[in-house]
Chain A
């Protein structure tokens, strides 16, 4: 057996905390989750029965699972473009500042640190029927919008809340990307007479490919894990319009006490997430290749 050298020991000692963390909090629960897929365990009973593929069949037929699937893509359709535009906008704005860049970018990052529960409570109060904002809406539109009773508005509110929360975080990723774009490219473009928009679309965005790639993957993954906002504000309604994967997993595991079935939905969620991320990766890589990235 080959003796480990100093380099190997150092490498293992540096990576082992993460490997141990992954083993405890990812691999063990994953194995346990896979075992549960085929049972009707209720999370606390000492007994559980093997139910074969019954959980899969039920989940694939469930209108709530279907609703979770479609809600994710509805939110994605609103969240991804808005978060890309706002976070890139913030990054460009902060990058153009002559000083205090760090302080201001931290200011935009604060929403990411705020508790989703607290934000939901504030939004709940702001958009309630008798909130101080209601007279303003009555004055402007002649009525108070039914923010959480209308399926379209409810999805919009949740999407914008998540956009607000994440924009500052993603802006930091873009900010680091912006700082690595060579100034010479813009100087050459200036000599050629390129305007601000031309430089944005022909230089900045293509050169931000690595940051865009990261943000897209993070954002897509995040949409599949939305829980707090719909849980606090809509409970998945109206008519399952904001019912998400995690809401369904939570309700099945902790309200209906069906841990086996909830594990099945979690596995389906993970599979759909994985496939969606693979598709987005392929699209992004093709776009990157078209702009000279390999």
Chain B
């Protein structure tokens, strides 16, 4: 009896092992790295679970890429160590250019079903601006946020302003009124303005620069093509804010949310967190969003801004089978507009597709997420990040040699820009 039981157990174990091995052999296992953001991670995990359940040939694992020190460093390390995932999100054009120059990415437009996917998403025009100089598309754009500024309209109303200012002089008037009534408050609190970390310049310098220059490219190829006058105006604006004590450049915890400051750069990714942690912040009541302010001497019909645009890539390091498998998953995700709608609901960000205003799936998205309306309206005026592989050095030099010394009163705006421009030209010539 005992011997029989033991035999049964052994047989059962052997059979189950054989079964597991069969499943393991039948599946191509691939990994997708999402942005280090809980809402995006949940979104991708749920879709991967659905996809895995819908077929048995491909198994997709979703993990969030490590944020520390940066997602770019994490990806670089993974490639250097031969451990790149099959695909990852959170890639902006500048870092994409570095990866393309290093032959680390798969040209997506060569994969089967590319044209159909782009057509289904009405992205024919959008994809043109994501095409690299060799004519290929390496990054599949997932979302683009036209960056806006948030204003504490409740405090502005107390000061007698019913609308956010639209010019630099208007900003100064708000600053003056704010200091008169609340000497310990600031127009804006941004410690990052004296921190040379390259990506911070997207959210302080480039938002204002794109508005002041009407979107003139900062760098083209290996040349600095920035609008000199516009750069100097932005430098002077920040220098004036600091000189008048309207700008706090010290570390401060949630300065906008607590009302210590009334103006900040604001991406739609902030809203899901606000709903949970700052429910008192309500659109139209306590805060509003607005495009960047303009210098007083320009008269553009609409202020341009910076587009925080990110996409996903497939890594060349993985085998052709893995590349094909992850591409199947990507196509599956992005073919159904319901998934795009789920993306907007989960992340608070608008998906990148050309039919947002005509596709019925998105009919009530703005009713349910009124805070996204402003971002959708500004998309046509949003300029993406520079697609130059020396982006980090360029933006670090811009801060170190120009913006930061001007804010700290160590250089004039003209001198700051002359020094920064010379440093950037040296980087481009390297």
Residues of A with Cβ closer than 8 Å to B? 42-46, 117, 124-125, 127-131, 144, 146-149, 231, 235-239, 250-251, 254-257, 259
The proximity string for B residues 76-92 relative to A, scoring 1 for CB distances below 8 Å and 0 otherwise, is 11011000000000000
Task: Contact check, A128 vs B70: say whether CB atoms are below 8 A apart.
Answer: no
- The answer to whether B217 has its CB under 8 Å from any CB of chain A is no
Q: Give bound CA distance, A44 to B194, whole Å.
A: 31
Known pairs A45-B101, A130-B255, A255-B72; list 16 more (Cβ under 8 Å): A42-B102, A44-B79, A45-B104, A46-B103, A117-B68, A128-B252, A129-B189, A148-B250, A148-B251, A231-B69, A235-B197, A237-B195, A250-B69, A254-B69, A255-B392, A257-B389
Q: Give bound CA distance, A250 to B70, whole Å.
A: 11
Q: How many residues of B contact A (CB 8 A)?
A: 38
Q: Give bound CA distance, A128 to B196, whole Å.
A: 19
Task: Contact check, A130 vs B69: say whether CB atoms are below 8 A apart.
Answer: no
Please give the distance in Å from A86's CB to the nearest CB on chain B: 26
- The answer to whether B335 has its CB under 8 Å from any CB of chain A is no
The proximity string for B residues 49-77 relative to A, scoring 1 for CB distances below 8 Å and 0 otherwise, is 00000000000000000001110110011
Q: Give bound CA distance, A148 to B195, whole Å.
A: 11
Task: Contact check, A254 vs B76: say whether CB atoms are below 8 A apart.
Answer: yes
CB contacts under 8 Å to A, within B243-283, are: 248-253, 255, 258, 260
Nearest-CB residue, chain B, relative to A233? B251
Q: How many A-B residue pairs have CB under 8 A?
A: 83
Task: Contact check, B73 vs A130: say whether CB atoms are below 8 A apart.
Answer: no
Nearest-CB residue, chain B, relative to A231? B69
Residues of chain B contacted by A127 (CB below 8 angstroms) = 251
Nearest-CB residue, chain A, relative to B78? A44
Q: Give bound CA distance, A131 to B260, whole Å.
A: 12
Residues of chain B contacted by A251 (CB below 8 angstroms) = 396
Task: Contact check, A256 vs B392: say whether CB atoms are below 8 A apart.
Answer: yes
Q: Give bound CA distance, A235 to B195, whole Å.
A: 7
Q: Give bound CA distance, A181 to B73, whole Å.
A: 50
Please give the distance in Å from B243's CB to the nearest CB on chain A: 15
CB contacts under 8 Å to A, within B198-256, are: 198, 248-253, 255
The proximity string for B residues 100-117 relative to A, scoring 1 for CB distances below 8 Å and 0 otherwise, is 011110000000000000
Task: Contact check, B194 vs A149: say whether CB atoms are below 8 A apart.
Answer: yes
Please give the distance in Å from B424's CB to the nearest CB on chain A: 13
Task: Contact check, A237 vs B98: say whether CB atoms are below 8 A apart.
Answer: no
Q: Give bound CA distance, A193 to B103, whole Å.
A: 78
Task: Contact check, A235 vs B196: say whether CB atoms are below 8 A apart.
Answer: yes
- The answer to whether B308 has its CB under 8 Å from any CB of chain A is no
Please give the distance in Å from B355's CB to the nearest CB on chain A: 36
Residues of chain B contacted by A45 (CB below 8 angstroms) = 101-104
Residues of chain B contacted by A239 (CB below 8 angstroms) = 408
Q: Give bound CA distance, A147 to B249, whole Å.
A: 11
Contact residue among B76, B196, B252, B392 (Cβ-Cβ distance under 8 Å from A237): B196
Q: Give bound CA distance, A78 to B253, whole Å.
A: 29
Residues of chain B contacted by A255 (CB below 8 angstroms) = 70, 72-73, 198, 392, 396
Residues of chain A contacted by B252 (CB below 8 angstroms) = 128-130
